[in-house]
Structure 1
Amino acid sequence: MTRYGFLGAGNMAQAMIKGLLNAGISAQDILVASPHSAAKLAKELGIQALDATELLQTADLVTLAFLPKQLTAISQSLPANLYQNKLLVSVIGDVNLNSLENAFPGAQIVRTLPNVNVSINRGMTSYALATNLTTASQTAALAFLDLLGSRIELAESNFAVFSALAGSSPAYVFAFIQSLAQAGQQNGLSTQDALTIAAQTVLGSAQTLLASDSDPTSLIASVASPGGSTEAGLKALSADKFNEVVIHGIQATIDHQHE
């Protein structure tokens, strides 16, 4: 029985907790510490609210889910013996492994970037492992991530790109679905019908790609017959520089992280 602790109760922590519950983890094995939100979240989800010291003493795996600016204050407030050899999984976006290791010396640390889809166990998470990580800690950390969806190991230098593609892009996908639905509404569909059709089509198309040995170009060709209505729509998107717009949005997201 693994007990999962969360230091912080923000949006990502809540999404991960919901994913664990969906995966069948007992609410009694999920612990949260946050001075302002833990009690409310515990009441809502049936999990346990503890203070940070109690959480470190009780949990087998602790997710660091607080704000980057809180790193020093939180790490200095905790007795060092409580995190020695403790498995800490960070979801603090802007804090690298070196900074985490300096803040929690002697801990077993994994840096991750999940996206919001972890709440329904369809997340995409990048991870990087500390050099001192034991085999047992690595196994436990990856098993934890597997409960929440898919994972990919990346160099930390690629985390900004991953954050744009996986972390921010759900918002862009929602915007695309909204645009598809609006086109449906303008042509007579109800709001709910248009949203259902658009969302299910995007979901099915993504699953088709992942299940296929083909690339997107080949799959586009399989749908768009020469001279047909789909090709007409693709030409209109191309004329409006659809690809360039998407790439520009992702690049702006990446660039903003470096400002």
Structure 2
Amino acid sequence: MNLNLSKLMDKIVGRQQKRQQERVASFCDLVKHIAAGQEPDADLVDEVLHNSGKSLNDLKAAVELRQKRLALRAQLDRVPDLTKEREANQKHISEAYAELQKAEERCEAVARPLIYRNEQLTDEIREADRAKNQLANTCPYEELLTTIAEVVAEIKAVNHKINDLTGRIQNCHREAGNLRQQASVSHRPDDADRLRAKADAFERGAKEMDAKVSPLRTQMADLQRRETELRERLLEP
């Protein structure tokens, strides 16, 4: 009799454990479905929560944890592909650096002797510049030196005229602008007309002076060419 009771108790405990496992499994399945984006039936949710002894907060926390772990697992599953891509990139980088080293070696082989030669050429050009200065400074032709001095003096005089006229032209434009501004805000028509007339006079003066500048610039260009030609003659032996 005691033996039969013991077996009965074992059978009941086994069934209870099985039902508990089924309730836990049902809750876990519900969590998986919701975490995967599937919307379950409300009655089913209520039934699973009741049978498993879980609350809505328990379900919410379990779903959030499941979603977080799914995201973490997705990151982990990417590691083989990421590693493969990184190794391929590293291979290309190594190949590129190897090519760069070869190119640098070729460049060095070509450039080094040219750099050395350019340094020699620079020294020779520097010496030639010193020779040019000595030729100019030791020119024995007094007439040529006098002519150059006269041309230089003319250049300075013409340049002074150009600068003077340019400054006066700018002043005229500035005065004309100020007068027209005053005319635009004047409340007396007579005063406005008088101011505009004065502005016109300044602008006419600027135009007349500007007409004088053009031939002076032409003269300046001719004198500068003349100076260049004369200075070239200083370099004749």
TM-score class, shorter? under 0.3
For normalisation by structure 2, the TM-score amounts to: 0.21
TM-score (norm 1): 0.20
> Which structure's relative contact order is higher, taking Cα pairs within 8 Å and 6+ residues apart?
2
Larger radius of gyration: 2
